[in-house]
A = this chain, B = another copy of it.
Amino acid sequence: MNEERHGTRRSGGPRKAQEIFDATLDLLAEKGYEGLTIEGVAQRSGVNKTTIYRWWPSKGALLGAALIGARQLDFTPPDTGSLTGDLEALLHTVVTLLTTRPSSDIAVSVLGAATQSPELGAHVREFFADRIALERPVFDRAIARGELTEDTDLTLLMDLLAGAAWVRIVLRQLPLGEDFVARTVGTVLHGARPRT
């Protein structure tokens, strides 16, 4: 894991930024966005309220920083040597995020709140822009290996993979089946239509 990925280094912040981010995400998972307050974060993290306000003037700004900076959501892109292996690893990460507590509660709370609060919405957009930037090397290597063409829409591929997991787990609330990851990646890479 690259030290530069940590929030304190990347986005600036007080010395106990990780404790603040952890408290922010824990409270979000427990109480939802409505129940998240800077006062509650101060209490949980043991950091003075005024210190938190000095760095993040609102709970939207604080949650935005926590999404990108928190260890809990830290992310290292896979490098398995093949596009199929890398995409399966990426999809496994999404599946784990959505089927494990507290990250599944965090994901659903953030999603619901992001559509209500324009400020948080902007931070969620930053979070996803950050993720796709981290995922880009996977696609660059696949293009170099000749597994994808240069005009591939990598955002669309990630939307298809992550979206299938979201719909199956969060919306349909159905079990995944043990071959979900392999089938999903296989369909996105090779298509549903039979080869002629």
Chain A interface residues (CB < 8 Å from chain B): 34, 83, 104-105, 108-109, 111-112, 114-115, 121, 124-125, 128, 147-149, 152-153, 155-160, 162-168, 170-174, 183-184, 187-194
Please name 7 pairs of A and B residues whose Cβ atoms are closer than 8 Å in the assembled complex, sorted by A: A34-B34, A115-B170, A153-B183, A159-B163, A159-B168, A162-B163, A189-B192
Measured CA separation A156–B164 after assembly (Å): 7
User: Known contacts A148-B192, A156-B164, A159-B163: does B187 contact A114 (CB below 8 Å)?
Assistant: no
Query: Main SS of the interface on chain A?
Result: helix
The interface residues of chain B lying within 8 Å CB-to-CB of A173 are 114, 121, 124-125
Whether the pair A165, B164 counts as a contact (CB closer than 8 A) is: no
The interface residues of chain B lying within 8 Å CB-to-CB of A163 are 159-160, 162-168
Measured CA separation A168–B174 after assembly (Å): 22
Whether the pair A125, B167 counts as a contact (CB closer than 8 A) is: no
How far is the CB of A186 from the nearest CB of chain B, in Å? 9
Which listed residue (B83, B166, B188) contacts A167, Cβ 8 A?
A: B166
Measured CA separation A126–B159 after assembly (Å): 25
Which listed residue (B34, B115, B164, B194) contacts A159, Cβ 8 A?
A: B164
How far is the CB of A183 from the nearest CB of chain B, in Å? 6
The interface residues of chain B lying within 8 Å CB-to-CB of A188 are 160, 187-188, 191-192
